[in-house]
Amino acid sequence: MNPTPPSSPRDLEGREVLVCVCGGVAAYKTCEVVSKLVQRGAGVTVAMSRAARKFVGRATFEALTARRVLTGLWDESLIADSPHIRATAETDAALVAPATANIIGKIAGGLADDIVSTLVMSTVAPVVVAPAMNDRMWNNLFVQANVRRLREAGYTLVGPGEGWLACRSLGAGRMAEPAEIIDAVVAALHAKKSA
């Protein structure tokens, strides 16, 4: 006899979350974040940078969300539909995870030259950013200046933590754990609902 699996709360039913995945080993953690958000009832749309697809395949996120993954601005089948505008119009909260030094710099500089940066620039929903990078990159003066700009603009940063990094060193730059990221996204959803 198999025990009944514990039921997960469906407290995010009817909420739309946009998850932007950038290129970094920590992208594997984003799979768990997406899965848990879907289990809690959220509709999740994933966008992936070209570099992100080197770490996790789009099929993984399509299986987890039962939705097409957005991978580029110039997909011929999508141009007339403007999915990046539609996706952000329906978004209740956005998450960038892992957030590389590159995407943090783009957001802080107001650049929109790929699917991820364009989506972030076009959303008016609360944005949660989960940085992940080498500790020397994280501590770089320009990266820290860009992080300050994001905080000043009202973005929520979660992490990074300290620990073992993919570059085989110990230090700050490890992406926050999925539970912490989910808590930040849920807080952003509740903040939007009460606004």
Active site residues: 167
Query: Is residue 175 within 8 Å of residue 29, measured between CB atoms?
Result: yes
Could you give the CA distance from residue 94 to residue 18 in angstroms, rounded to a whole number?
A: 5
What is the SS3 assignment for 159?
A: coil
Could you give the CA distance from residue 92 to residue 143 in angstroms, rounded to a whole number?
A: 27
Query: What is the 8-class DSSP label of residue 36?
Result: H
For residue 80 the two structure tokens come to 């007339």
Could you give the CA distance from residue 193 to residue 191 in angstroms, rounded to a whole number?
A: 5
Residue type present at position 100: T
Could you give the CA distance from residue 65 to residue 45 in angstroms, rounded to a whole number?
A: 7
* Helix-strand-coil split of the chain, %, nearest 5: 45, 20, 40
Residue type present at position 169: S
